[in-house]
Chains A and B, each alone.
Chain A
Amino acid sequence: MLENQNRHTSNSAFLNLQIVMSTLLIFFLNGLTNGMLLFLIAAGLTIIFGVMGILNFAHGSLYMLGAYLSYSLVVQGKLNFWLALAIAPLIVALVGGILEILFLRRIYKQDVSFQLLLTFAFVLIINDSVRLFWGSAPLTTPLPQILQTSIAILDRTYPVYNLFIIVVAFLVGMGLWLFLSRTRWGKILRAAAQERTMLGVLGINVPRLFTVVFILSAWLGGIAGVLAAPLRTLSLELADQIIIESFIVAIIGGLGSLPGSLLAALTIGQINSFGILIAPAAQVAFPYILMAITLLFRPQGLFHRE
């Protein structure tokens, strides 16, 4: 009898432990999803800053454009999600290229405030264009068919699409890192970040390089938009919500540093997630507190090399 009861209590202790473990694991995965998506967006922001020295406020709007384009392709055009993932970011990249060639190119030599004003103008123009084309009512796109399931994690289930985002963002991050560290183009980009004038002297076409970088960054924003669309409502707030968090990530990581952005995005993701578990009332403030601490003690950001 006593033995039985003993076994029972140890059984329930084991069950409790399992519940705690699965809860923690799910909070961790939530944070990872959040962080990896944030990384995809912040990566584009940080590459532009690293190479061109431009703070692109319109990056969130390019992300929003990617999401809305995927709505047009998937819901209105009846294409499948994978085609949208291939096509929509290319269109966003094209828009980015046009913005760089027609506008940004003309103000590189001007004061930095011109860039801020110009990219802020892009925000207003893109947001109002989205409203003009797609309207202001909220829209949604469906989850891709084969990712509509969830998998068992201990005693819980977890949506496969979240894991998919983690994997894709990881792959894109790896691809970017390989591109920057192993290819000739990557070397040129890193050189541009260090010493732009010397690069020009060495015969590199710097204006064209800038166009390519801006297109690459817009393409990344577009990918993030398409990936986020099945999870997040398409509305005119989409851009405003994401740009602040992405800037926090870029600043904490060190503007221009890709590994820094990754670390910062993952940290913010976990803080966002576990903040809800530990201190729900103060959770909103944590990313800002982290940024304030970074700016106080390491104003150049975690990974920035001077």
Chain B
Amino acid sequence: MYHLSRRTVLQQLSWATMGFLLACNSNTSKSDRPVRVGAMYLLTGGFATYGEFARDGINLALAEINQAGGINGKSLEVIFEDESEPVQKARRLVLQEKVDFLLGIDSSGNGEALVPTIPELERILMVTHAASPKVTGELCNRFVFRCSINSPQNSAAGAEIAATEGYQKWTTIGPDYAFGRQSWEFFQKALQERKEGVKFLTKTAFPKLGTQDYNSFITTLQNSGAEAIWCSLWGNDLINFIRQANSFGLFQQFPVFMELGAAMEVLTALGEQMPVGQWVGTRYWWQTPDTEVNRNFVSRFRQKYQTYPSYNAQNAYVGLKLLAQAANLAGTIETKAVIQALAGLEYEAPMGKLVLRPSDHQAIANVTWGKTAASADYNFRILEPIVVLEGDSITRSSTETDCKL
């Protein structure tokens, strides 16, 4: 008689279970499994407000995509992850969570760390915020796209506005890390190309990121002898600077061009403390362009979250939409095919028409600047007049960006 020991039974059972699991696994990964996107943003700490806006934008896009039939008939899902230690997090998302695409990155430092490691993961990374020129410059690779405005584009847009004003002598205040330094460098270059005889002072102010007390930096600016100030401070630092500069009357003495002054989180926090009549820029402004796509986006966003979309919300929204559209165009989620669909893709975003340039995968789109103005209808400053700068004229040519795909 066949002898059944406990060991044999267990052995057989475990083989059977394993086989069953394997079968299930291959089943789900090949056919029924939803398409997965891993989204990495600053979701904790002092900058969490950026990550939260991005998450809101993504959740709105996610609902719209699934309502419209998902990706190639499959539903889409997004897994959120804090972007600290970006390389490990991206690996975890791809290897453990089996995500098909990566999306996100707020900090330029995290972006520069992550981008070179993306090819080994063989997934597309759609960058939606980090503005470092290196992401689509010397660090670029064919797996990485950026659907948001980068730092040189922002600086050039500001320079285009600055060139129309009469100021000759410029100084700057900006955060003391790569972004603040690059912003000033690109601004100088862009303004020199557009206007003759401008001078850039060596007396500048570079407070470290997260500085609380700007008093002495403001005194330095007041003593600099400049006619106008280029300001690349952003977020909490910009809010601190503006309030303390108000106390010193800086805005009565100098025009201050604030590269990221029209960011919604800054305008909302400041309310009436934001001085009027100053030029401010952003990477998306909800009032422009006046298109149906934008109006719909703003109204749906407000309906869902009771607030106006910040640039980070729009960028993240667009990032997920682009991935979905490209995968639908390609008819597959296979990385190589989607890369081909994304390169050169033209897309009608809330921020206006956007093209992902094939040579470096950088988005080219129009940028909005405007002068801060009071309005009885809003409890924050709005932009009036608004100036829209052409994407082509503020983007460096692909020969200048050191990107070799």
Contact = CB atoms under 8 A, between A and B. Distances in A.
A276 B236 contact: no
With a 10 A CB-CB cut-off, give which of B49, B205, B216, B269 has the most chain A CB atoms: B216
A140 interface: yes
A225 to B, nearest CB: 12
A27 interface: yes
A288 to B, nearest CB: 12
Contacts of B205: 276, 280
22 contacts: A23-B223, A26-B219, A27-B219, A30-B216, A33-B215, A136-B52, A137-B265, A140-B269, A150-B248, A157-B248, A161-B247, A231-B213, A231-B243, A231-B244, A235-B46, A237-B45, A237-B210, A238-B212, A240-B46, A241-B212, A272-B216, A280-B220
Contact of B240 (A26, A136, A233): A233
A235 B248 contact: no
A174 to B, nearest CB: 23
A133 B6 CA distance: 58
Given A236-B45, A274-B216, A280-B206, 18 more contacts: A27-B216, A33-B215, A34-B213, A131-B48, A140-B239, A140-B270, A157-B249, A159-B247, A161-B247, A228-B212, A232-B240, A235-B46, A237-B236, A272-B213, A276-B216, A280-B204, A280-B205, A284-B208
Chain B: interface secondary structure?
helix
A276 B240 contact: no
Given A157-B249, A231-B244, A235-B46, A138 B213 contact: no
Given A138-B265, A231-B244, A233-B243, A284 B176 contact: yes
B243 to A, nearest CB: 7
Interface in B277-291: none
Interface of A: 23, 26-27, 30-31, 33-34, 131, 135-140, 142-143, 150, 157-159, 161-162, 228, 230-233, 235-238, 240-242, 272-274, 276-277, 280-281, 284
A162 B216 contact: no
A242 to B, nearest CB: 7
B271 interface: yes
A280 B239 CA distance: 21
B186 interface: no
Contact of A277 (B210, B216, B268): B216
Contact of B48 (A143, A162, A236, A272): A236
Given A136-B49, A140-B273, A235 B236 contact: yes
B220 A276 contact: yes
A233 B216 contact: no
B200 interface: no
Contact of A159 (B45, B49, B248, B273): B248
Closest 5 interchain pairs by CB?
A237-B46, A159-B247, A30-B215, A136-B48, A276-B216
A204 to B, nearest CB: 40
Contact of A138 (B49, B52, B210, B219): B49
Contacts of B350: none
Interface size class of B (residues with CB under 8 A): 35 or more
Contacts of B239: 138, 140, 233
Contacts of B180: none
A136 B53 CA distance: 10
Contacts of A34: 213, 215
B206 A150 contact: no
Interface string B243-266: 110011100000000000000011
Contacts of B269: 137-140, 233
Contacts of A140: 239, 243, 269-271, 273
Nearest to B52: A136
B111 interface: no
A241 B244 CA distance: 17
A152 to B, nearest CB: 11
Contacts of A138: 49, 235-236, 239, 265-266, 269
B296 to A, nearest CB: 25
B217 interface: yes
Nearest to A127: B45
B210 A137 contact: no
Nearest to A20: B223
Contacts of A23: 219, 223
With a 10 A CB-CB cut-off, give which of A142, A228, A232, A233 has the most chain B CB atoms: A233
Given A136-B48, A235-B46, A284-B176, A273 B273 contact: no
A159 B176 CA distance: 26
A137 B213 contact: no
Contacts of A280: 204-206, 220
Contact of B249 (A150, A161, A232): A150
B235 A273 contact: no
A276 B247 contact: no
